Amino acid sequence: MAHPEWALKHKTKGTELRNIGGRFYLYRVSSKWNKERKVTQKITHEMIGRITEEDGLIPKGTRKPKEAKPTFSPEALANISTRESGASSYLTGISEDVISGLRKHFPDNYREIFALALGRLLHQAPLKNMDFLYESSMLSEHYKDLDLSKNRLTTFMKELGSDRTAIADFMQGFVQGTSNIVFDTTHSISKSEKMQLNQVGYNSTGSYEPQVNLFYMFATDQQMPAYYRIFPGNITGMKALKLTIKEAGIKDACMVGDKGFSSDDNMNLFDEEDLQYVLPLKRNSRFVNYERLAAREYDKAFDGHFMHHDRPIFYYKYIHKEEKNGEMKERSVVIFQDPRLRNEEETSYLRRTENGSPDYTMDGFREKQIAFGTMAMIYSLKSNEVDKEGNPIEISAQKIYEKYKSRMEVETVFDTYKNLLQADRSYMQSDEAFEAWVFLNHIAIMLYYKIFNVIKSKNKLGKLSPKDLLMRLQRVTKIRIGTEWISAEVPRSSQIIFKELGIAVT
């Protein structure tokens, strides 16, 4: 590679210019005749010096004068402080839709709500620590003079939780226009004896502690938590579904639930609200018919297949008809069979049979064998595609399957809610405060998914988690020297990640 002109002008007779690691050095050289090889041989002697564009030739042994260190007055040194900047500033910048919605529905308190939600996401902090965290962040410069003291927040939480109308109106802004919603319920353990919501009820962990149930909706097309509603711990999610749909004002969307919601009442509810749905069925459901699988032949047993994550999924569809109250009801059903899952279930059953488990017998195996590896779904979906004659094209089995698989998104929300935010236990002492607590965590999860979607858009999810990125952003700080806030140094590894994600940290 050619040397730059500013370096070449220092090269004279009897010298050689070298580029070592991007730096330029000048060496003294001479030549000598080699009698044995009969060639002229170059001899390199001592280094003369280093060459830079700014200072020219710097002779060996000469040191560049150090820049004088700035001095500060005692008053300036007393005003030096450090605050977190990266995470709070970046999340504020990418969450304008959330902040705008809060400003619209909570014009007097939107700054406090956002600050508390940041405290929950970044630090999983209880209310008593919020004031300290706020003062330790540049958010206190962006939203000045917030009162997040423990005494103030005790009153604030009751006031916020009392305004369910404003909370619901805020969330409706993120539900409108959503085309695909997955939903499920979870619970939060509470020890408070003052709450009406806190009731003993069954949950997936098998415990019967006092709890509050949480109904959650996730918009898969927007990749964003959309809506929640809390209800007493002794009420089932199936009963809460109707009121949640009414309150959220959901229209023109497909609802995707789990097996616990595939009841006649819920399907009738979706029909009445003109909502589409995909619901999995238990294998012993009256809607499930495995007769075609007995043929064990592709053309007779299945309508076709498709590939999902490099594995074949076979399927067949049919219409289930039954008469109820003098009216003929028709429901669309699709049966999927996954050969890999079938082998796994057969192996698992037979292994338990060999181990002598009383609930697993060869008679039971023969009875269940035809259903191994299957997944049945009942659905009502409208197609937006039409054929040449203008008739709607039937929804493909693959699209139904993928819609159901999208329900794992709500499981991820619950995982974030419980493990990252550590919000599955509450110490709130009133129903109103608990409502506010859940709302703050809801905003925190929305901010989490802002980060998640940034990483996903750059195809970095396999290498970087939202938690990892938030940790790096929190290490970005600003230092106040006198009256000026100056950005502190950022580690090179973080700089590289921020650049790859298009994150400007200032």
Q: pLDDT of 82-104, one tens digit each?
A: 999 999 999 999 999 999 999 99
CB half-sphere exposure, 497, CA atoms < 13 A: 20
- Can you give the pLDDT at residue 188? 72
Between helix 466-474 and helix 110-123 the angle, nearest 10°, is: 110
Amino acid at residue number 326: G
- Can you give the pLDDT at residue 71? 53
Between helix 86-94 and helix 110-123 the angle, nearest 10°, is: 130
Contact 152, 167 (CB under 8 A): no
- Can you give the pLDDT at residue 222? 87
Is the confidence at residue 236, as pLDDT, over 70? no
Here the tokens at position 382 are 């409208």
For residue 255, name the pLDDT band (cuts at 50, 70, 90).
Answer: very high
* pLDDT more than 70, % of the chain: 89
From residue 383, how far is each of 94, 123, 330, 380 by CA, in Å? Answer: 34, 45, 18, 10
- Rounded (10°) CA dihedral 40, 44, 48, 49: 120
Region of 239 (left: φ > 0; alpha: ψ -120 to 50; beta: rest) is: alpha
Is the confidence at residue 394, as pLDDT, over 90? no
Contact 398, 306 (CB under 8 A): yes
- Can you give the pLDDT at residue 201? 57
For residue 301, name the pLDDT band (cuts at 50, 70, 90).
Answer: very high
Give the separation between CA 138 and CA 487, rounded to whole angstroms: 11
Give the separation between CA 98 and CA 119, rounded to whole angstroms: 16
- Can you give the pLDDT at residue 324? 82
Is the confidence at residue 378, as pLDDT, over 60? yes
- Can you give the pLDDT at residue 473? 95
For residue 166, name the pLDDT band (cuts at 50, 70, 90).
Answer: very high
Is the confidence at residue 205, as pLDDT, over 70? no
DSSP string, 22-37: TEEEEEEEEEEEETTT
Give the separation between CA 287 and CA 444, rounded to whole angstroms: 40
- Can you give the pLDDT at residue 125? 86
* pLDDT more than 90, % of the chain: 54
Is the confidence at residue 256, as pLDDT, over 80? yes
Mean pLDDT along residues 17-42 = 83
Contact 225, 171 (CB under 8 A): no
Backbone angles phi, psi at 163, to 5 degrees: -105, 65
For residue 142, name the pLDDT band (cuts at 50, 70, 90).
Answer: very high
- Can you give the pLDDT at residue 67? 58
Give the separation between CA 258 and CA 26, rounded to whole angstroms: 75
Listed by start position, the domains of the chain span 5-59, 96-256+410-452, 258-338+373-406
User: SS3 of 138, please?
Assistant: coil
- Can you give the pLDDT at residue 237? 63
Between helix 431-457 and helix 96-105 the angle, nearest 10°, is: 160
User: SS3 of 141, please?
Assistant: helix
Is the confidence at residue 221, as pLDDT, over 80? yes
Is the confidence at residue 179, as pLDDT, over 60? yes
Higher pLDDT, 198 or 33: 33
Here the tokens at position 248 are 């959220």
How high is the mean pLDDT of the chain? Answer: 87
User: SS3 of 418, please?
Assistant: helix
Contact 98, 170 (CB under 8 A): no
94 burial level (CB within 10 Å; 0-12, 13-18, 19+): middle
Please list, residue by residue across 355-389, b when 16 or more beta carbons sit within 10 angstroms of its beta carbon and e when fewer do.
Answer: eeeeebeeeeeeeeebbbbbbbbbbbbeeeeeeee
- Can you give the pLDDT at residue 424? 60
Is the confidence at residue 428, as pLDDT, over 80? no
Residues 6+ apart with CB under 8 A from 316: 292, 301, 302, 303, 334, 335
From residue 31, how far is each of 26, 294, 336 by CA, in Å? Answer: 16, 92, 83
